[in-house]
Chain A
Amino acid sequence: MSKIGVFVCHCGENISATVDCAKVAETAAGYDGVVYSIDYKYMCSDPGQSLIKSAIIEKGLTGVVVASCSPRMHEPTFRKACAEAGLNPYMCEMANLREHCSWVHEKGDATTEKAIDLVRILVEKVKKNHSLNAIKVPVTKTALVIGGGIAGIQASLDIANSGHKVILIERDPSIGGHMSQLSETFPTLDCSQCILTPRMVEVAQHENITLYTYAELESLEGFVGNFKAKIRRKSKSLDEKICTGCGQCTTKCPVKKIPSEFNEGLGKRTAIYVPFPQAVPNKPVIDRVNCTYYIKGKCKVCEIVCPTKAIRFDQEDTIVEAEVGAIVVATGFTVKQPDFFPEYGFGKYPDVITGLQFERLASASGPTLGEIRRPSDGKVPEKIVFIACAGSRDPAKGIPYCSKICCMYIAKHAMLYQHKVHGGKSYVFYMDIRAGGKMYEEFVRRAIEDDGVNYIRGRVSRIYEKNGKLIVKGADTLLGAMPVDIDADMVVLATAGIANEGSEELAQKLHTSYDSYHFFSEAHPKLKPVETNTAGIFLAGACQSPKDIPESVAMASGAAVKVACLFSQDELTREPLIAVVNRQAAPVFSSCVGCFLCVSACPYQAIEKEEIKNRTGEVIKTIAKVNPGLCQGCGTCVAFCRTKSIDIQGYTHEEMYSEVMALLNEY
């Protein structure tokens, strides 16, 4: 038999000004099962809480209804108070007399009647409530970081430095990502590689970090704290343990004309290659698509020249299985290529390049050793045009968003050009200059004012070739849309930053959501920017949306802290307000008939199949099972299940049904 206590709060005068609190308490005292009912000035105060606690102890209450403010305000307070007095915290409910009644209605009988109703609903609910215990889930204290760009590097180092194991996987043969391709970085113009490579080395040498380059996530199962990842280590055709990285093979490889990915196609590489001199690990891989041996079955020059006999032509991909507790996705972004732009020649003019290609031209380690020379004939361009928003902020092109980093890197590019080509002329066509950030606006002003970059506010309608020049037809909207034609030697397009290839597929493997542009979705745009909707999976860097280095690094550190928080305990404690599939005695086992239509209704992939077996191991019945690690307690499956075999703790069928009944039946 229930023994319910009702505690009506005046909230100073916030409630009592319009609600007759004494009458509410008095009426509640008359309900079946209510053994104690009282009103008090401030229920949340120490004496108020003591009142509840002593009543629980003295009257042996089995349930408590606190009629005061919104549960969104004080539910934790009162549940804690109940727990301190030995009552299960989930046996405490709150009737919202303040936000939902006293503050929104005038003083009068109707208001008091509503307050009484609200209390009655909760009294009836509490009678049906069950004691619940927080759910404990064990945690594997190893993190998987996917992507070895600056975000992945930062996240790995931060997690590793907090004392936890990290597995870092990178798709390419070396870590470093886009940052390693950059020449200099805004707004300080410090050399990108100079600040990045020490971090790369640190990753490789860190005792807590296991680095798998040339590896991709094959599949992922499990849930927060308990993921099982399968990692495909693509064959490098090389025994890494023996290879010393001497470079004999890459020097002697006869296939030398493969466009270098690292140099964005502006330089060449061999079939056995290290992407760039500072690569980590600094050991080659064989590109089997272009290697003569794999195409024609003979060559093996690398094998012959290798002093340590490290080449393994018959090496196969291996699958590494790893148990991890948390995952940081840091797969970065890519940029649209010029062939996306019909108005700029579909990529047929070699001197119309992307911003990333310009980075390689300006980089001391690039194909021109840092001299700005145009790809077609190696001439130093005397006039150069930069076009901002190539694709970005253009709904017609399907990229309505701002790529965020272009305004800044264009200013940097123009500045670098002016520094390197004395007497050169540079023009920037822009829509708006978005330079929000510390020292960013000053940086752009410097480009314009100190370095003499010509900024023209307007769009470029067309680029075509005439007498060896690229004619850029634009308009200057600040001069009344006056047509501007520039006969440039080279054009740099700040092409839109887009989601990396395969990001959608990866999101599906991870069971996380992605937005309509295929960037990974954060759990909340403001308050949960590094979390995903899947507990235990976090985001860092440009895989969530284009962002610059400091932002990526900050986000990576944020994600690392989230991982460290998760790993700070041996077990995770979660609210038990989750769905449960009922279980009954044999031979029924459960009213669930195993139609599994609920599986697709669940936003969290939390519903699994459970096989019920007899003693000989034969499967008698297959029913649904809710994984408590994944369920977030929305209850979508509960309303969906035909047989009402799934119920959600804290909002059960009985509880909600009782609320409706209590509300409308006259007492």
Chain B
Amino acid sequence: MADFEPKIVAFVCNWCTYAGADLTGTSRIKYATNVRIIRFPCTGRIDYMLLLKAFDEGADGIIVSGCHPNDCHYTSGNFHARRRWIMFRELCDFVGIDINRVLFSWVSAAEGSKWADVVNTTVTRIRELGPYTEYQKVAKHPIREVTNG
């Protein structure tokens, strides 16, 4: 377990968090290498099914991040997303998905250091939690292995 490198997927919006992560880069702030960013137009576009798919495919942690309330490029995409996450998170908790592995944040285009902090916090947390074997064990069901070739 000592050499466990968490796999973390970040679903971010194009206008705030993606730009904020760009700023982290231009500011040369260092953070953990474990995160892979996937760009969406808006947090409103982020499909909850993709979160499940990420866990299916072996992610140990997920970051979902977008514009702060009132800052959405599309006025209200993040508000819609927030309401969905509130409900979806309850549902995940209820079915026993480890919601500590999903970190939601608002990172604006000006918050380069916050992005680094969000990533590092998540990596530290997931390192403590360990690999998400509980989920992966179910995901690696033999029937699935066969059908997926």
Contacts and interface: CB of A to CB of B under 8 A. Distances in A.
State if A and B touch, Cβ cutoff 8 Å.
Answer: yes
Interface of A: 70-73, 96, 98-100, 103-106, 108, 110-111, 113-114, 117-118, 121, 513, 533, 577, 601, 603-604, 632-636, 638-640, 648, 650-651, 653, 656-657, 659-661, 663-665
Given A104-B116, A634-B74, A664-B9, 14 more contacts: A71-B39, A72-B14, A72-B19, A73-B22, A103-B25, A118-B37, A603-B76, A633-B41, A634-B44, A635-B41, A635-B45, A636-B74, A639-B81, A665-B58
Contact of B42 (A106, A111, A636, A660): A636
Q: Which of B31, B42, B46, B72 has the most CB of A within 10 A?
A: B42
A106 to B, nearest CB: 7
Contacts of B72: 634
B75 A533 contact: yes
B31 to A, nearest CB: 6
Contact of A70 (B25, B30, B75): B25
B45 to A, nearest CB: 3
A663 B75 contact: no
Given A70-B25, A99-B22, A663-B57, A639 B36 contact: no
Nearest to B116: A104
Contacts of A664: 7, 9, 54, 57-59
B2 interface: no
A665 B57 contact: yes
- Which 5 A-B residue pairs are closest in the complex by CB-CB distance? A635-B45, A99-B25, A636-B44, A634-B74, A664-B57
A78 to B, nearest CB: 15
A636 B83 CA distance: 12
A195 to B, nearest CB: 38
B84 interface: yes
A70 B77 CA distance: 23
B45 A632 contact: no
Nearest to B54: A660
A632 B46 contact: no
Contacts of A604: 74
Nearest to B23: A99
B18 A603 contact: no
A103 B29 CA distance: 8
B91 interface: no
Given A633-B41, A664-B57, A656 B25 contact: no
Nearest to A117: B36
Contacts of B40: 635, 651, 656
Interface string B66-86: 000000111111001100100
Interface string B15-35: 000110111111011110100
A661 B53 contact: yes
Contacts of B28: 103-104
Contacts of A640: 80, 84
A651 B45 contact: yes
13 contacts: A72-B22, A73-B22, A104-B29, A104-B116, A533-B75, A634-B72, A636-B77, A639-B44, A639-B81, A640-B80, A660-B50, A660-B53, A663-B57
B45 A657 contact: no
Given A533-B75, A601-B80, A660-B50, A635 B33 contact: no
Nearest to A636: B44
B38 A663 contact: yes
A72 B18 contact: yes
A108 B5 CA distance: 14
Contacts of B84: 639-640
B26 A99 contact: yes
Contacts of B46: 639
Contact of A639 (B47, B58, B74): B47
Nearest to B80: A636
A663 to B, nearest CB: 5
Given A72-B19, A656-B38, A634 B45 contact: yes
Contacts of A105: 30-31, 33
A638 B24 contact: no
B45 A70 contact: no
A655 to B, nearest CB: 10
Q: Which of A513, A636, A661 has the most CB of B within 10 A?
A: A636
B77 A603 contact: yes
B75 A100 contact: no
Contacts of B39: 71
Nearest to B45: A635
Contact of B47 (A99, A100, A108, A656): A656
B57 A661 contact: yes
Contacts of A103: 24-26, 28
Contacts of A118: 36-37
Nearest to A533: B75
Nearest to B9: A663
A350 to B, nearest CB: 43
Nearest to B46: A639
A99 B24 contact: yes
B30 A104 contact: yes
Contact of A100 (B7, B37, B42, B48): B37
A70 B31 CA distance: 17
Nearest to A524: B73
A635 B25 CA distance: 27
B45 A636 contact: yes
A638 B49 CA distance: 12
A185 B139 CA distance: 74
A636 B42 CA distance: 8
Nearest to B5: A110
B58 to A, nearest CB: 5
Contact of B41 (A98, A117, A651, A661): A651
A601 B79 CA distance: 10
B65 to A, nearest CB: 13
Contact of B25 (A98, A106, A633, A648): A98
Contacts of B25: 70, 98-100, 103-104
B41 A634 contact: yes
A328 B20 CA distance: 34
Given A70-B22, A636-B74, A661-B57, A114 B36 contact: yes
Q: Which of A72, A118, A604, A634 has the most CB of B within 10 A?
A: A634
B74 A603 contact: yes
A653 B47 contact: yes
A378 B80 CA distance: 59
B25 to A, nearest CB: 3
A73 B23 CA distance: 12
Nearest to B40: A651
B107 to A, nearest CB: 13
Contacts of A73: 22
B36 A634 contact: no
A634 B14 CA distance: 10
B11 to A, nearest CB: 9
A665 B76 CA distance: 34
A633 B84 CA distance: 19
B35 to A, nearest CB: 8
